Structure 1
Amino acid sequence: MSDDRDMFAPEVRGTFFRAVDPSFRESAIAGSRAAGRYSRADEPTLYLSSSVEGVEAALVAHPDTRATEPVIVEVDVTAPRIVDLRDPAAGFAAGIDLEDATAPWQQIVADGGVPTSWLVRDRLAALGADGLIDPSRKRPGLWHLVLFRWNTDDAPQVHIRTGAG
């Protein structure tokens, strides 16, 4: 395995987007409340998209998970120690196979199993990663930011953009 410089992307910084139920807008950065591609139900995880188009692509992948029409919230992010799964060298340095990250997961969870994408998260967290960049499966070229921890000491910092969303 290579050193951290090969595994971690340059600091991720910018405005990201998240779809939330309007009644949960104020807690939009609290993280997901259910199991996800990279999270068990009891693992706080913040799923963000790099663009509004990315949010829309993600919503296509999860059409039955929302009771109401979501609103899109803008979130300012500063995140070091992120592994970019779009970069084969970073995945190699971290010992990650992209196929494990992108494999179907929902039915495995429904059947009580552990999807390989959860093991990707476990591996990256054990290596000190605070999150990952996940390429969109629905719209190649788009990508998502997945944070395993945030808004604590030495962790990525995220804040809802005031006056936006």
Structure 2
Amino acid sequence: MNMGKDLPVGTVDGTFYRAIDPKYKGFAIAGSRSPGRYSRKDEPTLYLSSSIEGVGAAMIAHKDARSAAFEIIEIEVQAPGIVDFRNPDALDRAGIDVSDAIAPWQDVVASGGTPSSWLVRDRLLAAGANGLIDPSRKRPGLWHLVLFRWNEANAPTVRVVRNVPTEGR
């Protein structure tokens, strides 16, 4: 495994989107409250989509775990230290097997196990990565940004810009 100072990281800057339950609007950038593909319950992780369509694709996999009511918020992000899982060379250089990242995880968690994607997170964190770009499995061509840390020293910065208007959706 080739991890360390030559970890293939880049910077992601731009506008991203997140679905939130309106009851938790004040915690929109606090991170996940439950286990996720790349996070144990006690590991706040910010899952964002690069497009509004990406939010819809991400919600397909979580329809049973989410409130039926949700709002989409727009978030401004500046994130150095991101490993791009769309790039096979970056995965290889980071020592990440894509099958570990994309393996089903929900049933493993439900049975008390540790999904391989959590171990991917552990490896990236140990190597100093702040997060990753995760290609959508539900809608090829779309992608998500997963942040392991944010709004602290030497970490990505995020801020809520606005609620996305619901007209026309």
TM range (shorter): over 0.9
Are residues 1:164 and 2:147 paired?
A: no
Q: In structure 2, how many angstroms separate the alpha carbons of the residues matched to 1:27 and 1:79?
A: 20
Q: Check conservation: 2:3, 2:127, Cα contact below 8 A.
A: no
In structure 2, the residue matched to 1:148 is 148
Q: In structure 1, how many angstroms separate the alpha carbons of the residues matched to 2:6 and 2:133?
A: 16
Cα distance, 1:27 vs structure 2: 1.2
Aligned partner of residue 80 in structure 1, secondary structure? strand
Q: Check conservation: 2:7, 2:127, Cα contact below 8 A.
A: no
Q: In structure 2, how many angstroms separate the alpha carbons of the residues matched to 1:138 and 1:29?
A: 24
In structure 2, the residue matched to 1:7 is 8
Cα distance, 1:164 vs structure 2: 3.4
What 5-or-longer segments of structure 2 have no aligned partner? 165-169
In structure 2, the residue matched to 1:96 is 96
In structure 1, the residue matched to 2:52 is 52
Cα distance, 1:67 vs structure 2: 2.5
Aligned partner of residue 63 in structure 1, secondary structure? coil
Q: In structure 2, how many angstroms separate the alpha carbons of the residues matched to 1:141 and 1:74?
A: 20
**CA shift digits 1:77-119 (9 cap, x unpaired):** 0000000011011111110011110010000000000000000
- Between the aligned residues of both structures, percent identity stands at 61
What 5-or-longer segments of structure 1 have no aligned partner? none
In structure 2, the residue matched to 1:87 is 87
Q: Check conservation: 1:19, 1:72, Cα contact below 8 A.
A: yes
- Greater helix share, 1 or 2? 1
Q: Check conservation: 1:6, 1:89, Cα contact below 8 A.
A: no
Q: In structure 1, how many angstroms separate the alpha carbons of the residues matched to 2:13 and 2:67?
A: 31
In structure 1, the residue matched to 2:78 is 78
**Residues matched between the structures, number:** 163
**Letter of the aligned partner of 1:72 in structure 2?**
I
Cα distance, 1:61 vs structure 2: 1.0
Q: Check conservation: 2:54, 2:143, Cα contact below 8 A.
A: yes
Cα distance, 1:64 vs structure 2: 1.0
**Letter of the aligned partner of 1:128 in structure 2?**
G
Q: Check conservation: 1:130, 1:148, Cα contact below 8 A.
A: yes
Q: In structure 1, how many angstroms separate the alpha carbons of the residues matched to 2:45 and 2:59?
A: 17
Are residues 1:67 and 2:67 paired?
A: yes
**Letter of the aligned partner of 1:116 in structure 2?**
S
Q: In structure 2, how many angstroms separate the alpha carbons of the residues matched to 1:12 and 1:128?
A: 16
Structure 1 residue runs of 4+, over 3 Å off?
2-6
